[in-house]
């Protein structure tokens, strides 16, 4: 599966990027790269920046919320109709779990697409085409701050960052692209230099109660019922755990955190069972 190339900073941008043509300015989301490819069998194969996982269940925990999102929202038939060979295409996007920025998690999709690669063309699709492709396939593309700006009038040294689309604050940066495949990143120094989340420092049982709240369980129940899915233990536990890892990734997986994730999962499972028992008793 195609690996995503590194993107230079604007100060080392490819020759000509800021000289001619038109630019797309995309929000750089504070997440982690996730790529995927639909197989002929209908299964979706996933990869992070460095590894490919033939079994979606083996994708590391912090990405699982995005894996579920893609599997549930990807319109496979639309993709099969659009291309002769579904395995020709690789999709790239951000798995939006917590690093430095605390996004509005209820409004921010678990996956935001930003690039589409074609093996037969040996090229990435232009940014406008990639945006349209993600829309047609039922996945939200990363937001564009500006489209078709004339390159000769863009000055990275004087650029003023707009508000992020996903929380009340500045973006991590801007990805600058043109239709020739050139790109560069303009980081936001205010966000880049901000302190990340602190490690957690509490027993697993206390952490489970802190994160697996009744409100969270109720919210996930509402989501399941809204999509006509049964509220089973497995479905509720799986979704609650994935949302916790997504929102608290920076703390639970901090280098100075000593959380035993196996014990933490067991504590969340116990709270899930207790919530379901109370729900039955209240009926």
pLDDT tens, 45-61? 999 999 999 998 899 99
Please report the pLDDT score of residue 254 as a whole number.
85
The DSSP call for residue 111 is E
Residue 193: per-residue pLDDT: 59
The distance in angstroms from the start CA to the end CA of the chain is 50
Residue pair 143/27 in contact (Cβ under 8 Å)? The answer is yes
**Nearest C-alpha neighbor of 188 from the set 203, 169, 204, 214:** 169
- pLDDT score recorded for residue 148: 93
Helix (H, G, I), strand (E, B) or coil at 127: helix
Q: Is the pTM of this model over 0.85?
A: yes
- Give the number of other CB atoms < 10 A from CB of residue 19: 9
Task: State pLDDT tens for residues 227-273.
Answer: 899 999 999 999 999 999 999 998 898 888 889 999 999 999 999 99
Q: What is the mean pLDDT of residues 105-122?
A: 95
* Domain range 21-192, CATH architecture: 2-Layer Sandwich (3.30)
Residue 269 has which token pair? 């499972």
Mean pLDDT of 116-145: 95
**Candidate from 2-11, 156-165, 208-217, 273-282 with smallest mean pLDDT:** 273-282
CA nearest neighbour of 208 among 263, 143, 134: 263
On the question of pLDDT at 283 being above 80, the answer is: no
DSSP track, 42-100: S-EEEE-SS-EESSGGGS-GGGHHHHHHHHHH--HHHHHHH-S-GGGEEEEEEE---SS
The confidence band for 95, taking pLDDT boundaries of 50, 70 and 90, is very high
Residue range 181-208, pLDDT digits in tens: 999 999 999 886 566 678 888 999 999 9
């Amino acid at each position: 599966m195609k690996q995503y190339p590194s993107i230079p900073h604007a100060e080392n941008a490819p020759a000509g990027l800021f000289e001619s043509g038109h630019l797309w300015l995309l929000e750089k989301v504070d997440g982690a790269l996730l790529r995927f490819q639909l197989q002929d069998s209908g299964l979706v194969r996933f990869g992070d920046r460095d590894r490919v996982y033939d079994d979606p269940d083996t994708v590391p925990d912090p990405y699982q919320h995005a894996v579920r999102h893609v599997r549930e929202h990807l319109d496979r038939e639309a993709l099969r109709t659009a291309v002769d060979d579904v395995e020709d295409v690789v999709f790239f996007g951000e798995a939006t779990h917590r690093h430095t920025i605390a996004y509005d998690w209820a409004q921010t999709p678990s996956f935001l697409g930003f690039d589409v690669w074609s093996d037969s063309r040996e090229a990435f699709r232009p940014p406008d085409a990639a945006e349209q492709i993600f829309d047609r396939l039922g996945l939200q593309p990363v937001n564009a701050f500006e489209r078709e700006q004339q390159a000769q009038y863009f000055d990275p040294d004087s650029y003023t960052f707009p508000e992020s689309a996903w929380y009340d604050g500045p973006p991590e940066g801007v990805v600058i692209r043109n239709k020739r495949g050139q790109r560069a990143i303009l980081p936001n120094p205010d966000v880049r230099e901000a302190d990340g989340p602190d490690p957690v420092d509490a027993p697993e049982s206390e952490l489970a109660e802190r994160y697996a709240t009744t409100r969270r369980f109720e919210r996930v129940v509402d989501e399941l019922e809204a999509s006509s899915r049964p509220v089973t233990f497995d479905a509720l536990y799986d979704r609650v755990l994935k949302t916790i890892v997504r929102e608290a990734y920076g703390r639970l997986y901090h280098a100075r955190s000593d959380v035993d994730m196996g014990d933490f999962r067991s504590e969340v499972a116990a709270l899930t069972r207790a919530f379901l028992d109370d729900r039955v008793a209240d009926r």
